[in-house]
Chains A and B, each alone.
Chain A
Amino acid sequence: MTDSFGQVNFQRGVASVVVLSLLKQADMYGYQLVQEMERQSLGALSMQEGALYPVLYKLQDAGYVSSEKVLVGKRMTRVYYHLEPEGEQYLSRLLADYRAVVDGVLRIAEGVDPWKK
Protein backbone atom coordinates (compact mmCIF):
# COMPACT_ATOMS: atom_id res chain seq x y z
CA MET A 1 0.00 0.00 0.00
CA THR A 2 1.52 3.30 -0.99
CA ASP A 3 1.07 6.34 1.19
CA SER A 4 -0.51 9.32 -0.44
CA PHE A 5 -1.03 12.79 0.95
CA GLY A 6 -4.72 12.06 1.47
CA GLN A 7 -4.12 8.81 3.29
CA VAL A 8 -1.50 10.22 5.65
CA ASN A 9 -3.55 13.26 6.54
CA PHE A 10 -6.70 11.21 6.84
CA GLN A 11 -5.11 9.22 9.56
CA ARG A 12 -4.28 12.39 11.38
CA GLY A 13 -7.58 14.13 11.55
CA VAL A 14 -10.77 12.49 10.42
CA ALA A 15 -10.46 8.92 11.62
CA SER A 16 -13.04 9.52 14.37
CA VAL A 17 -15.54 11.01 11.92
CA VAL A 18 -15.20 8.08 9.54
CA VAL A 19 -15.30 5.40 12.24
CA LEU A 20 -18.36 6.87 13.92
CA SER A 21 -20.10 7.31 10.57
CA LEU A 22 -19.51 3.66 9.68
CA LEU A 23 -20.73 2.47 13.06
CA LYS A 24 -23.84 4.55 12.57
CA GLN A 25 -24.64 2.31 9.60
CA ALA A 26 -24.09 -0.95 11.50
CA ASP A 27 -22.11 -2.62 14.29
CA MET A 28 -18.75 -3.67 12.86
CA TYR A 29 -15.54 -5.34 13.92
CA GLY A 30 -12.04 -3.94 13.32
CA TYR A 31 -11.14 -5.40 9.98
CA GLN A 32 -14.66 -4.82 8.69
CA LEU A 33 -14.30 -1.10 9.51
CA VAL A 34 -11.05 -0.98 7.52
CA GLN A 35 -12.63 -2.75 4.54
CA GLU A 36 -15.76 -0.58 4.54
CA MET A 37 -13.68 2.57 4.83
CA GLU A 38 -11.81 1.75 1.66
CA ARG A 39 -14.85 0.43 -0.19
CA GLN A 40 -17.23 3.29 0.56
CA SER A 41 -14.60 5.98 -0.12
CA LEU A 42 -13.76 4.28 -3.44
CA GLY A 43 -10.19 3.80 -2.30
CA ALA A 44 -9.59 7.43 -1.33
CA LEU A 45 -9.34 6.58 2.34
CA SER A 46 -7.53 3.65 3.86
CA MET A 47 -6.22 2.75 7.26
CA GLN A 48 -4.28 -0.18 8.59
CA GLU A 49 -6.08 -2.17 11.24
CA GLY A 50 -3.51 -1.56 13.96
CA ALA A 51 -3.92 2.21 13.70
CA LEU A 52 -7.68 1.83 14.11
CA TYR A 53 -7.54 0.58 17.69
CA PRO A 54 -6.20 3.74 19.35
CA VAL A 55 -9.11 5.61 17.72
CA LEU A 56 -11.64 3.02 18.89
CA TYR A 57 -10.14 2.99 22.38
CA LYS A 58 -10.50 6.77 22.74
CA LEU A 59 -14.09 6.66 21.48
CA GLN A 60 -14.89 3.85 23.90
CA ASP A 61 -13.21 5.63 26.79
CA ALA A 62 -15.35 8.70 26.10
CA GLY A 63 -18.50 6.57 26.03
CA TYR A 64 -19.29 7.18 22.37
CA VAL A 65 -18.73 3.58 21.36
CA SER A 66 -19.19 0.29 23.16
CA SER A 67 -17.85 -3.16 22.32
CA GLU A 68 -19.10 -6.71 22.56
CA LYS A 69 -17.30 -10.01 22.15
CA VAL A 70 -19.07 -12.39 19.82
CA LEU A 71 -18.17 -16.03 19.42
CA VAL A 72 -17.09 -16.77 15.87
CA GLY A 73 -16.55 -20.39 14.95
CA LYS A 74 -15.58 -22.85 17.67
CA ARG A 75 -13.02 -20.99 19.75
CA MET A 76 -12.51 -17.59 18.26
CA THR A 77 -14.09 -14.39 19.51
CA ARG A 78 -14.49 -11.23 17.59
CA VAL A 79 -15.06 -7.76 19.04
CA TYR A 80 -17.93 -5.82 17.51
CA TYR A 81 -18.18 -2.07 18.06
CA HIS A 82 -21.45 -0.26 18.52
CA LEU A 83 -22.32 3.44 18.31
CA GLU A 84 -23.91 4.79 21.49
CA PRO A 85 -26.48 7.67 21.49
CA GLU A 86 -23.81 10.01 22.94
CA GLY A 87 -21.59 8.96 20.06
CA GLU A 88 -24.25 9.91 17.55
CA GLN A 89 -24.51 13.41 19.07
CA TYR A 90 -20.73 13.73 19.05
CA LEU A 91 -20.66 12.67 15.41
CA SER A 92 -23.15 15.45 14.51
CA ARG A 93 -20.89 18.04 16.14
CA LEU A 94 -17.77 16.60 14.52
CA LEU A 95 -19.39 16.60 11.07
CA ALA A 96 -20.46 20.24 11.43
CA ASP A 97 -16.89 21.21 12.36
CA TYR A 98 -15.44 19.09 9.59
CA ARG A 99 -17.73 20.66 6.95
CA ALA A 100 -16.75 24.15 8.14
CA VAL A 101 -13.04 23.31 7.92
CA VAL A 102 -13.30 21.69 4.49
CA ASP A 103 -15.38 24.63 3.26
CA GLY A 104 -12.77 27.07 4.49
CA VAL A 105 -9.89 25.13 2.94
CA LEU A 106 -11.63 24.87 -0.43
CA ARG A 107 -12.44 28.58 -0.42
CA ILE A 108 -8.78 29.41 0.09
CA ALA A 109 -7.58 26.79 -2.41
CA GLU A 110 -10.04 27.94 -5.07
CA GLY A 111 -9.34 31.61 -4.41
CA VAL A 112 -12.84 32.50 -3.25
CA ASP A 113 -12.31 35.52 -0.99
CA PRO A 114 -15.55 36.39 0.89
CA TRP A 115 -14.24 39.92 1.63
CA LYS A 116 -13.54 40.77 -2.02
CA LYS A 117 -16.20 42.90 -3.66
Chain B
Amino acid sequence: MEKMTNQAARRYLRQVRQLLPCSRREKNELTSALRQSLSEYLSEHPNATSEAIQTHFGTPESVAAMCMETTELPSLLKRIHIRRRILTIIVAAVIAILLTWGGFLLYLYTHVQKDALGGYDILTITDLGNQNEETESGSVLTIPET
Protein backbone atom coordinates (compact mmCIF):
# COMPACT_ATOMS: atom_id res chain seq x y z
CA MET B 1 0.00 0.00 0.00
CA GLU B 2 1.18 3.48 -0.87
CA LYS B 3 2.65 5.36 2.11
CA MET B 4 0.38 8.18 3.29
CA THR B 5 2.28 11.45 3.14
CA ASN B 6 -0.45 13.74 4.46
CA GLN B 7 0.25 14.26 8.16
CA ALA B 8 -3.35 15.16 8.97
CA ALA B 9 -4.53 11.90 7.41
CA ARG B 10 -1.97 9.86 9.36
CA ARG B 11 -2.99 11.59 12.58
CA TYR B 12 -6.66 10.97 11.79
CA LEU B 13 -6.07 7.25 11.25
CA ARG B 14 -4.09 7.03 14.49
CA GLN B 15 -6.87 8.77 16.45
CA VAL B 16 -9.54 6.51 14.97
CA ARG B 17 -7.52 3.41 15.77
CA GLN B 18 -6.97 4.53 19.38
CA LEU B 19 -10.70 5.05 19.93
CA LEU B 20 -12.09 1.96 18.23
CA PRO B 21 -13.68 -0.27 20.91
CA CYS B 22 -13.12 -3.57 19.14
CA SER B 23 -10.72 -6.47 18.70
CA ARG B 24 -7.31 -6.05 17.08
CA ARG B 25 -8.47 -7.94 13.99
CA GLU B 26 -11.44 -5.63 13.54
CA LYS B 27 -9.28 -2.53 14.16
CA ASN B 28 -6.87 -3.69 11.46
CA GLU B 29 -9.68 -4.33 8.98
CA LEU B 30 -11.41 -1.02 9.65
CA THR B 31 -8.27 1.10 9.53
CA SER B 32 -7.20 -0.69 6.35
CA ALA B 33 -10.53 0.14 4.66
CA LEU B 34 -10.33 3.71 5.92
CA ARG B 35 -6.73 4.07 4.75
CA GLN B 36 -7.71 2.94 1.27
CA SER B 37 -10.54 5.48 1.09
CA LEU B 38 -8.33 8.18 2.53
CA SER B 39 -5.74 7.52 -0.15
CA GLU B 40 -8.35 7.98 -2.85
CA TYR B 41 -9.65 11.14 -1.17
CA LEU B 42 -6.12 12.54 -0.85
CA SER B 43 -5.40 11.86 -4.52
CA GLU B 44 -8.10 14.45 -5.26
CA HIS B 45 -7.38 16.65 -2.23
CA PRO B 46 -3.63 16.26 -1.54
CA ASN B 47 -3.44 19.18 0.89
CA ALA B 48 -6.55 18.26 2.83
CA THR B 49 -6.57 19.61 6.37
CA SER B 50 -7.64 17.79 9.48
CA GLU B 51 -10.96 19.62 9.38
CA ALA B 52 -11.65 18.67 5.78
CA ILE B 53 -10.85 15.03 6.48
CA GLN B 54 -13.15 14.96 9.49
CA THR B 55 -15.94 16.69 7.56
CA HIS B 56 -15.76 14.01 4.88
CA PHE B 57 -15.05 10.92 6.94
CA GLY B 58 -16.52 11.91 10.30
CA THR B 59 -14.75 12.60 13.57
CA PRO B 60 -12.77 9.72 15.12
CA GLU B 61 -15.40 9.69 17.88
CA SER B 62 -18.27 9.20 15.42
CA VAL B 63 -16.46 6.32 13.72
CA ALA B 64 -15.86 4.71 17.12
CA ALA B 65 -19.50 5.31 18.10
CA MET B 66 -20.75 3.54 14.97
CA CYS B 67 -18.39 0.67 15.72
CA MET B 68 -19.85 0.40 19.19
CA GLU B 69 -23.39 0.68 17.82
CA THR B 70 -22.87 -2.23 15.45
CA THR B 71 -21.23 -4.45 18.06
CA GLU B 72 -23.47 -7.08 19.66
CA LEU B 73 -24.29 -6.21 23.27
CA PRO B 74 -22.90 -9.42 24.87
CA SER B 75 -19.59 -8.88 23.09
CA LEU B 76 -19.47 -5.25 24.22
CA LEU B 77 -20.26 -6.15 27.83
CA LYS B 78 -17.62 -8.87 27.78
CA ARG B 79 -14.99 -6.35 26.65
CA ILE B 80 -16.05 -3.92 29.40
CA HIS B 81 -15.83 -6.65 32.08
CA ILE B 82 -12.44 -7.78 30.85
CA ARG B 83 -11.11 -4.22 30.95
CA ARG B 84 -12.49 -3.70 34.46
CA ARG B 85 -10.90 -6.94 35.63
CA ILE B 86 -7.52 -5.98 34.15
CA LEU B 87 -7.71 -2.56 35.81
CA THR B 88 -8.54 -4.14 39.19
CA ILE B 89 -5.59 -6.52 38.89
CA ILE B 90 -3.21 -3.67 37.98
CA VAL B 91 -4.38 -1.51 40.92
CA ALA B 92 -4.06 -4.46 43.33
CA ALA B 93 -0.57 -5.24 42.03
CA VAL B 94 0.57 -1.60 42.43
CA ILE B 95 -0.74 -1.49 46.01
CA ALA B 96 0.99 -4.79 46.83
CA ILE B 97 4.27 -3.53 45.38
CA LEU B 98 4.03 -0.24 47.32
CA LEU B 99 3.31 -2.06 50.60
CA THR B 100 6.17 -4.51 50.05
CA TRP B 101 8.55 -1.72 49.16
CA GLY B 102 7.43 0.35 52.13
CA GLY B 103 7.94 -2.58 54.47
CA PHE B 104 11.37 -3.25 53.02
CA LEU B 105 12.43 0.38 53.46
CA LEU B 106 11.21 0.34 57.08
CA TYR B 107 13.19 -2.85 57.74
CA LEU B 108 16.30 -1.30 56.21
CA TYR B 109 15.87 1.88 58.23
CA THR B 110 15.60 0.13 61.59
CA HIS B 111 18.41 -2.37 60.98
CA VAL B 112 20.86 -0.03 59.29
CA GLN B 113 20.52 2.43 62.13
CA LYS B 114 21.27 -0.29 64.68
CA ASP B 115 24.30 -1.51 62.70
CA ALA B 116 25.63 2.05 62.49
CA LEU B 117 25.70 2.21 66.30
CA GLY B 118 27.72 -0.97 66.49
CA GLY B 119 24.82 -3.03 67.65
CA TYR B 120 23.99 -0.78 70.63
CA ASP B 121 20.65 0.73 71.32
CA ILE B 122 20.22 4.44 71.99
CA LEU B 123 19.33 5.26 75.58
CA THR B 124 18.26 8.62 76.85
CA ILE B 125 19.80 9.33 80.28
CA THR B 126 17.57 11.56 82.34
CA ASP B 127 19.06 11.09 85.80
CA LEU B 128 22.81 11.00 86.46
CA GLY B 129 23.51 8.40 89.07
CA ASN B 130 24.83 4.92 89.08
CA GLN B 131 22.61 3.12 86.72
CA ASN B 132 22.83 -0.29 85.22
CA GLU B 133 20.83 -0.39 82.12
CA GLU B 134 20.23 -3.49 80.20
CA THR B 135 19.85 -2.91 76.54
CA GLU B 136 17.75 -4.90 74.09
CA SER B 137 20.81 -6.69 72.75
CA GLY B 138 21.56 -8.00 76.27
CA SER B 139 24.74 -6.04 77.07
CA VAL B 140 24.99 -4.08 80.36
CA LEU B 141 25.88 -0.46 80.25
CA THR B 142 27.04 1.17 83.47
CA ILE B 143 26.79 4.90 83.72
CA PRO B 144 28.95 6.24 86.56
CA GLU B 145 27.78 8.97 88.86
CA THR B 146 29.46 12.28 88.15
Interface residues of A (CB under 8 A from B): 1, 11-12, 15-16, 30-31, 48-51, 53-58, 72, 75-79
A57–B29 touching, CB < 8 Å: yes
Q: How large is the interface on B (under 10, 10 to 19, 20 to 34, 35 or more residues)?
A: 20 to 34
Q: Which residue of chain B has its CB nearest to the CB of A58?
A: B70
A-B contact count (CB 8 A): 66
B30–A54 touching, CB < 8 Å: yes
Interface residues of B (CB under 8 A from A): 2, 16, 26, 29-30, 33-34, 36-37, 39-41, 43, 55-58, 62-63, 65-67, 69-71
Give the complex CA separation of A77 and B2 in angstroms.
Answer: 10
Q: Which residue of chain A has its CB nearest to the CB of B53?
A: A50
B58–A49 touching, CB < 8 Å: yes
Q: Say what secondary structure dominates the interface of chain B.
A: helix
Give the complex CA separation of A16 and B69 in angstroms.
Answer: 11
B33–A78 touching, CB < 8 Å: no
B40–A55 touching, CB < 8 Å: no
Give the complex CA separation of A12 and B69 in angstroms.
Answer: 7
Q: Which residue of chain A has its CB nearest to the CB of B63?
A: A50
